[in-house]
Amino acid sequence: MTHTVLRIDASARHVGSESRKLADRIIERLDADTVIHRDLAVAVPAIDADWLTANWTPEADRSDEQREKLALSSTLIDEIKAADTLVIATPIYNFSVPAALKAWIDQIARAGITFQYTENGPKGLLEGKRAIIAIASGGTQVGSDIDFASGYLKHIMSFIGITDVQFVAADQLMVDADASHAKADAALEALAA
């Protein structure tokens, strides 16, 4: 059985990025047949009024300009659909996710495509996938009251239907780098391929 991984890198840094290093190790452990890579250091545009209008226009009624406005969003969603596992590598910037990752989330959270509203509330449409979130921070402890990244990412994954979410964290690197790396190593060892 083939295994496809979508790797999302959200760090603005390439050299010295702890989240990218964690993602490298996760990808190696997963031994995927195919890895699709989306590097958000190459900016994903923020949604704007024209994007919203295009998104809310029924597909059959969209102009060529509206289709073009949604083309990247559709490509990003197709990347998720093609993957069995998402590996999202992100630092915590100022207690939350980088703006580039938030822009990616805004592009992929589309009613009727990745989630739908029901009488019981929203239902994710991308079920049967797994997400592994590699998260790094200088001082913020993952899961603490000041961490607005990990809970948000877990919620977004569930919102689009991905409920199997695991974290590999190298947090508080500026507090105790050795302990942080040891904790990340243990989480990596616990990951099933």
- Binding residues for FMN are 11, 17-19
Residue 160 and residue 114 in contact, taking contact as beta carbons nearer than 8 Å: yes
Q: Is 108 helix (H, G, I), strand (E, B) or coil?
A: helix
Residue 175 and residue 136 in contact, taking contact as beta carbons nearer than 8 Å: no
What counts of helices (H) and strands (E) characterise the chain?
Answer: 6, 7
- Which residues does the annotation place in the binding site? 11, 17-19
Q: Is 40 helix (H, G, I), strand (E, B) or coil?
A: coil
Residues whose CB is less than 8 angstroms from the CB of residue 147 and which lie 6 or more positions away in sequence, other chains included: 92, 95, 137, 140, 141, 171
